[in-house]
């Protein structure tokens, strides 16, 4: 008989939990604890790296949303410049104001307010902002108005306590007089590319990204979903289907620059006059995104229980009705998840777009899908390669805009996924 006070003993008195067993059990528990700690450590390291990355971009990017501006009062009543709402709203209004001497008026007013040295540090294109203000409000021509106009990059560096000693001294003097300050640059969000970091903006590249993503989604999503439906629901299981499946899996792992070469060789050969157009960029990125959507779509369709199909067929639904009324709605959340991943990858791509010519200097936002354009990742790449230090902060600010655009796009996709999600 075993000792009832000893639960580790058998009827013959032999122990069931030997020292070796206890040792192995402790080692197993210790391994489990180490695995949990390693997992927690990996998560904490990832979060720390993400925080450092976001903090670094935020610190550098905040300055990119600001610019050094000079205070310039302008007396339009004594300037001799004339115009009304009808003339200033015409397409040639900018040239008309230039011919009337608006650049000289702005320069003279700056010299009167800032002195000769200060006026020389006013951006050469500052008068264009004055012209834009006059076009939006012609009543300014009847009196005096004070403008905050962009300075040169050298003066901006002096304001940041960089550059040569003379420029730092001039910036300090103008700042003490209240004629120089760092102000939030709303124009950064509505302007396009420029050679002066004080005049650049992201709207042209942002609009190009939006148009390119529209083309990418319009081509990749329907073709990818229909391909997944055919391969999973209708295609016969034979050698050719296996070859197609392997090819799609391989295409999902092909480097993006290969798709750029394909776009260069095919699309630009067919449409030679659309180099750097969002249409060509979207078609190129659609080729890259489509395999991801097909793979995720097939997995989502495969996850729909067979009982859904059997039940629909049992009540008289046709095979097409089964697929589009029952299978596809249930698989749509998984398909949208793959679409989010594919579109996020496409939004951040640079290499394929560089090959099809979307690295050109584009000073105006694109008018449509066939107009010359660039995209945010390419714009960031070009600014990061500039020698002028003023582009460093602008580059960080553009990265923040790109991340916000990505978050908005993903949030919209997640909302649609949750809206169409159904349970069985």
Instruction: Compute the distance between CA of residue 209 and CA of residue 277 in angstroms, rounded to an integer.
Output: 11
Instruction: Compute the distance between CA of residue 285 and CA of residue 273 in angstroms, rounded to an integer.
Output: 19
Hey, how many other C-beta atoms are within 10 angstroms of the C-beta on 157? 21
pLDDT tens, position by position, 97-136: 888 899 999 999 999 999 999 999 998 888 988 998 898 8
Instruction: Compute the distance between CA of residue 80 and CA of residue 181 in angstroms, rounded to an integer.
Output: 30
Hey, how many other C-beta atoms are within 10 angstroms of the C-beta on 272? 8
Residue 220 has pLDDT above 70, yes or no: yes
Sign of the Cα torsion 23, 26, 32, 35 reads negative
Residue bearing the bigger pLDDT, 88 or 11: 88
Contact 144, 138 (CB under 8 A): no
376 contacts: CB under 8 Å, gap ≥ 6:
202, 205, 206, 208, 209, 347, 398, 401, 402, 405
How far apart are the two ends of the chain, measured CA to CA in Å?
A: 56
Q: How confident is the model at residue 308 (pLDDT cuts 50, 70, 90)?
A: confident
pLDDT tens, position by position, 236-271: 888 888 898 889 989 888 888 899 898 888 998 888
Query: pTM of the prediction?
Result: 0.82
Q: Which of 124-128, 240-244, 285-289, 415-419 has the highest mean pLDDT?
A: 285-289
| Upper half-sphere CA count for residue 277 (Cβ side, 13 Å) | 16
Residue 44 has pLDDT above 90, yes or no: yes
Residue 424 has pLDDT above 70, yes or no: no
* Residue 45 dihedral angles phi and psi, to the nearest 5°: -65, -40
The mean of the pLDDT values for the chain is: 87
Model pLDDT, residue 1:
46
In this prediction, residues 14-38 reach a mean pLDDT of 83
> Which domains does the chain possess?
66-184 (no CATH), 202-420 (1.10.3720.10)
Residue 423 has pLDDT above 80, yes or no: no
Separation in Å, CA 256 to CA 253, 262, 335:
9, 10, 22
Instruction: Give 186-190's long-range contacts (Cβ < 8 A, gap of 24+).
Output: 187/129, 188/64, 188/65, 188/67, 188/394, 188/397, 189/401
Instruction: Compute the distance between CA of residue 178 and CA of residue 153 in angstroms, rounded to an integer.
Output: 19
Closest CA to 289 of 337, 208, 343: 343
**Backbone dihedral region of 366: left (phi > 0), alpha (psi from -120 to 50 degrees) or beta?**
beta
What Rg do the C-alpha atoms of the chain give, in angstroms?
A: 32
Residue 43 has pLDDT above 50, yes or no: yes
Residue 85 has pLDDT above 60, yes or no: yes
In this prediction, residues 148-164 reach a mean pLDDT of 87
Closest CA to 72 of 117, 119, 104: 119
In this prediction, residues 72-85 reach a mean pLDDT of 85
In this prediction, residues 202-227 reach a mean pLDDT of 93
Pick the range with the lowest mean pLDDT from 13-27, 137-151, 164-178, 308-322.
13-27
Q: How confident is the model at residue 3 (pLDDT cuts 50, 70, 90)?
A: low
Instruction: Compute the distance between CA of residue 150 and CA of residue 199 in angstroms, rounded to an integer.
Output: 8
């Amino acid at each position: 008989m075993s000792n009832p006070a000893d639960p580790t003993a058998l009827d013959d008195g032999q122990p069931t939990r030997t020292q070796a067993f206890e040792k192995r059990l402790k080692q197993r528990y210790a391994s489990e604890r180490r695995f949990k700690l390693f997992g927690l450590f990996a998560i904490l390291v990832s979060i720390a790296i993400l925080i450092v990355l976001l903090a670094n971009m935020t610190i550098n990017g905040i300055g990119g949303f600001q610019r050094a501006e000079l205070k310039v009062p302008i007396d339009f009543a004594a300037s001799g410049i004339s115009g009304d709402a009808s003339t200033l709203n015409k397409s040639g209004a900018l040239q008309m104001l230039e011919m009337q001497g608006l650049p000289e008026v702005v320069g003279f007013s700056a010299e009167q307010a800032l002195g000769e040295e200060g006026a020389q540090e006013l951006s050469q294109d500052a008068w264009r902002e004055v012209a834009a203000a006059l076009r939006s409000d012609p009543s300014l021509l009847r009196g005096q108005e004070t403008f905050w106009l962009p300075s040169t990059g050298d003066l901006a560096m002096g304001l940041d306590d960089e550059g040569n000693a003379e420029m730092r001294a001039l910036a300090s003097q103008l700042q003490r007089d209240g004629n120089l300050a760092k102000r939030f640059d709303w124009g950064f969000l509505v302007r396009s590319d420029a050679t002066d970091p004080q005049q650049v903006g992201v709207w042209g590249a942002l609009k190009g990204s939006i148009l390119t993503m529209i083309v990418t989604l319009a081509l990749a999503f329907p073709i990818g979903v229909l391909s997944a439906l055919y391969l999973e629901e209708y295609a016969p299981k034979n050698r050719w289907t296996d070859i197609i499946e392997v090819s799609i899996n391989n295409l999902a792992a092909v480097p993006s620059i290969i798709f750029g070469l394909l776009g260069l060789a095919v699309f630009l050969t067919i449409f030679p006059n659309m180099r750097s157009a969002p249409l060509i960029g979207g078609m190129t990125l659609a080729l890259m995104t489509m395999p991801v959507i097909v793979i995720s779509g097939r997995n989502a369709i495969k996850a729909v229980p067979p009982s859904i199909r059997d039940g629909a067929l049992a009540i008289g639904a046709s095979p097409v009705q089964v697929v589009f009324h029952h299978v596809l709605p249930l698989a749509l959340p998984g398909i949208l998840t793959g679409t989010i991943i594919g579109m996020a990858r496409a939004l951040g791509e640079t290499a394929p777009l560089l090959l099809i010519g979307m690295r050109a200097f584009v000073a105006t936002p694109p008018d449509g899908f066939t107009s010359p354009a660039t995209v945010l990742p390419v714009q960031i790449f070009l600014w990061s390669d500039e020698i002028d230090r003023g582009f460093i902060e602008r580059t960080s600010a553009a990265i923040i805009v790109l991340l916000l655009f990505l978050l908005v796009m993903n949030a919209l996709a997640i909302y649609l996924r949750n809206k169409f999600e159904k349970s069985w």
